Structure 1
């Protein structure tokens, strides 16, 4: 399978970078703080999944921000939650920007986990937050679609991680006018080569699934691993682990490759 010097194949339960786990900080205050933003009046499953997963993935502290309409719906297991103004559709309104920025100031990294609704007002407040935040932003699930118009800004950020479906990756290439076409029928080697060049062109990090392989790309380097749990991605579990590892390990490719180990 491995054909290029920048392509690294990892086997499940056999990490490419074993020192990442060995060097996990024991002190909680050294493991970073993860802010999780998402939810609307119809659901917050991604937020709840991310909250519990992040602690399992060694995040030091986790705080979630949700629309105020969910105040009485949040389970007791989520002990650190902030509620921000919502619009008539039950998703975050423009008035939530200050709360989002306060969460950003507290956090080491932010996970936009989805269930955000489709309100144009929510799109605006997400775009404004992205423009003002300089730490790690991880986007996944429908949050990727919500901020599509910010894609040209996102790909120029050094601390951006997309955890997305192959269809969303296709749209990302289109949104930034990248001159390569991705197809579902393309061979894994072709995708690896395209992501190698894409992440040399832009300082972002990408994690996607193609033909039963999880593919991670950063700074022209690509790691692939056999993957049999697509629902872990669609639930937000994979993104929450990835965002958590980025809090306490400084090398993105090593952190993410370690975060997907089973």
Structure 2
């Protein structure tokens, strides 16, 4: 009698892994990471809202050097009443932040109706500002971006600049955590294709496949799988153990059916029927 060929390990079809990876990014585990990141944005927003109230000014934002190619990310813009998250990315050239990143200090400036200096920021501003204070945000001795505090009507003076520079020192503490987290995400995203390649020297690919498979299983179905695995382990011990497990499950099933058909005692029974 010919022997059956040994079972081959499961190989997902092409594209299945990438589809499952996208599923992973919407799970509770990855959502918790996003929630942590959103908390950083909320912290930035609240700090900037406080700056609008303290200065006072109409709108405030930060532009941070996070991504490659020298682009600046503007994650949030705030007013005295509320803040809102944005997804604006700009090149520093031609903006007030180019001067700040090159080592320049904070300064106050009047702004014209069509001032090119803030042209890149207009899509996220509620109104065209008439004046602004621009201060660097530093981590240690390095400028990693800047804060812009803008006024729609009233001019901003050196007194506002002094206060903005003190606020920037406090803001830098929140920015440090936010920027570090974003940089780590970016580095991981760049390394991910190499880590998931078929010839990768790590086990990340197979570990993610197992993890994603577990996440895609509903809790009810997962319990069924766990029960099946438990019975399988019992059955592996021998024929007698297999018959015992099958007989016990049959008794449990008959006991449950008796209640479904109204044949139970009504008080939940004592369970003696299983013995």
Q: Into which bin does the TM-score normalised by the smaller protein fall?
A: under 0.3
The structure whose Rg is larger is 2
- Flag the structure with higher helix content: 2
TM-score calculated relative to the size of structure 1: 0.22
TM-score calculated relative to the size of structure 2: 0.22
